[in-house]
Structure 1
Amino acid sequence: MISGCKRIFFSIALFALCYSATSLAADSNADNIAAKLTIIEDVGFKTPESIEYYPAEDVYLVSNINGNGLTADGNGFISKIKPDGSVIKLKWIDGNQSGVVLNAPKGLAIQGNNLYVADINQVHIFELPSGKQKTSVKIKNSTFLNGITPGNGHFVYVTDSGLKAGKKSYAPSGTDAIYKVRANGKYELIFKDKNMGHPNGITVDGKELIVVTFMSGEVFRIDAKGKRHELPKPPKGDLDGLLKLDDGRLLMSSWGASALYVLNEDNTYSILADSLEAAADLGFDTKRKRVLIPLFNENKLVFLQL
């Protein structure tokens, strides 16, 4: 945490326990593993939604919605920070700058020398390391582009969470889908189903895609033929970020549980960390083996050492 010019570390219990996917009953003989969270706050973040590690410069990039996630207000921005939490430039890419289109940026993905940004109904492509905008790809009939992940080539996959403005908050738009977006600006539909459950986080696993949903709290695979295969459902939903760890396990953030869940290879769930309200799209620092967590409602970042 950066507060009063000091870095403060908070300890939480990380549970290395295997739970059943329905009850999460803990083994009383298992030992808890103590770990420390670094929390970065009071530096100017405005609704941070996603964080991505950029190895070439050893920095973190953070998307800031800065307002309503559906409003094309031109004030979204992307921050560049150091791994120690200090800010290099708060508005490194700024929607208010001339020549930049950035409204409500959500998921971030780096593929090659390009930074891809999901933004309402567009995917913006920025050149790295300069941050100069190359193009914006408008995806027809999309309403809430959200999660994004690099593909095995010069393209990314992006989810449309299928949301629109409602009376109180958001309402279903029926556009739930997954798209492939190429560096040349072309895109194609991979999977679409209005009953998908509002897909959010997404990652590549070989020739398959793994997806978590926000409203229905489901986890599933999309195989190379475009067929959906269900995976065990975690105890609580509102799933957002998704990572595939080096050992093959899946790590996901749950707003419903205010926690990070791990889906183990034996199809049981563990809680990796809790007391994380509105943990959004996750990133991973491959150099430090650190999970990067934006706290959507609190304008904070959390770094969790594995």
Structure 2
Amino acid sequence: MNLQIKRFLISATLSTFLYPAISLAADAKTVKMVAKRIIIDNVGLMTPESIEYYAAEDVYLVSNINGNALAAEGNGFISKIRPDGSVVKLKWIDGTQNNVHLNAPKGIEIHHGNLYVTDINQIQIFALPSGKQKASINIKGSTFLNGITSGNGNFVYVTDSDLTAGKGSYASSGSDAIYKVWPNGKYELIIQDKNMGRPNGIIASGKELTVVSFGSGEVYRIDANNKRHAMPTPPKGGLDGLLKLDDGRLLISSWGASALYVLNNDNTYSILADSLDAPADLGFDTKRQRVLIPLFKLNKLVFLPL
């Protein structure tokens, strides 16, 4: 299918000339605004993978892998960042602490007073607002738990992106799956299929799920009977984060395009923002109406007002 590509933001190169960088802060951190983007840099982030808006405190929570994404080294951490880019506490939840079990945190989700964190083959659960650990759930058979979203009840859905250690890099483990996880430690395998294309970002709407895949670059819907239905595929893959706007449009981050795609309601794709190196799991600030984007490889955050 030929998909019409509409660009409704100018490229970052041109933007730099039309909208010079504005320094909003100095010293230990750098906060810049370039063509409506706020860029947070040099604050100590270490491989930021996911970001979530915590409305109760008006702050952002950021997961930091801090090393090998598959290594259970016990040094991952969760940062607490203010909307202006200043740091409340870099290692608010710190895997090196004796009372914390956290290795290589990826997707995070706030749900029913808990912070859920995907962590290799485990789900870590922390109480809010204290940040104290409540549970560590082993998901048998999983290898790379990644995307996470709230369910319609006291549970979350989690994707397994099918990665394991390979020669010099990563390899397929054949564990592509989606799980349903409860805070009491119970979990259920919803669907497992090696042809899911390494599922990553996920959102739930009632009993239906929408998923983007990092490996195959597919977008698909999973119905209440766990059947997959193909949706329009963007021009480039490496799909990671997924958000649904109130008007029904989907925002999808793409490593392949170094961009943030919009899947419009007429099934066409637009590019909301480009020149984003390895944009990972997306968050959304409902107060300021801004998209929150971690740049996985650059240890930066980008805040993009809609």
Contiguous gaps of at least 5 residues in structure 1: 12-35
| Residue 8 of structure 1: how far off its partner (Å) | 2.0
Q: How does 1:285-300 map to 2 (within 5 A)?
A: 285-300=285-300
**SS in structure 1 of the partner of residue 101 of structure 2:** coil
TM normalised by structure 2 equals 0.91
CA deviation profile, 1:50-75 (whole Å, cap 9, x unmatched):
00001111110000000000000000
Equivalent position amino acid for 1:63 in 2 = S
What is aligned with 1:156?
Answer: 156
**SS in structure 1 of the partner of residue 96 of structure 2:** coil
| Residue 2 of structure 1: how far off its partner (Å) | 5.2
CA deviation profile, 1:242-296 (whole Å, cap 9, x unmatched):
0001110110000000000000111110000000010000000011111000000
CA deviation profile, 1:141-192 (whole Å, cap 9, x unmatched):
1000000011111110000001001113111000000000012111001111
Equivalent position amino acid for 1:7 in 2 = V
What is aligned with 1:41?
Answer: 41
Change (3 A) 1:2 1:163: farther
Q: How does 1:59-208 map to 2 (within 5 A)?
A: 59-208=59-208
TM normalised by structure 1 equals 0.91
Does the Cα contact within 8 Å between 1:2 and 1:42 map onto a contact in 2? no
Q: Write the distance in 1 (CA, Å) between the matches of 2:213 and 2:195.
A: 11
**SS in structure 1 of the partner of residue 105 of structure 2:** coil
Q: Write the distance in 2 (CA, Å) between the matches of 1:259 and 1:45.
A: 21
Change (3 A) 1:244 1:169: same
What is aligned with 2:10?
Answer: none
Q: Write the distance in 1 (CA, Å) between the matches of 2:88 and 2:261.
A: 31
What is aligned with 2:220?
Answer: 220
**SS in structure 2 of the partner of residue 93 of structure 1:** strand
Does the Cα contact within 8 Å between 1:161 and 1:175 map onto a contact in 2? yes
Change (3 A) 1:6 1:256: closer
Equivalent position amino acid for 1:207 in 2 = K
**SS in structure 2 of the partner of residue 70 of structure 1:** coil
**SS in structure 2 of the partner of residue 190 of structure 1:** strand
What is aligned with 2:278?
Answer: 278
Is residue 2:32 matched to residue 1:8?
Answer: yes
CA deviation profile, 1:127-150 (whole Å, cap 9, x unmatched):
000000000110001000000011
What is aligned with 1:241?
Answer: 241
Does the Cα contact within 8 Å between 1:2 and 1:40 map onto a contact in 2? no
Moved over 6 A (4+): none
Change (3 A) 1:205 1:2: farther
Sequence identity percentage: 74
What is aligned with 2:304?
Answer: 304
**Alignment length (residue pairs):** 282
Q: Write the distance in 2 (CA, Å) between the matches of 1:166 and 1:104.
A: 17
Q: Write the distance in 2 (CA, Å) between the matches of 1:7 and 1:42.
A: 9
Q: Write the distance in 2 (CA, Å) between the matches of 1:96 and 1:165.
A: 23
Q: Write the distance in 2 (CA, Å) between the matches of 1:223 and 1:292.
A: 28
Q: Write the distance in 2 (CA, Å) between the matches of 1:199 and 1:217.
A: 9
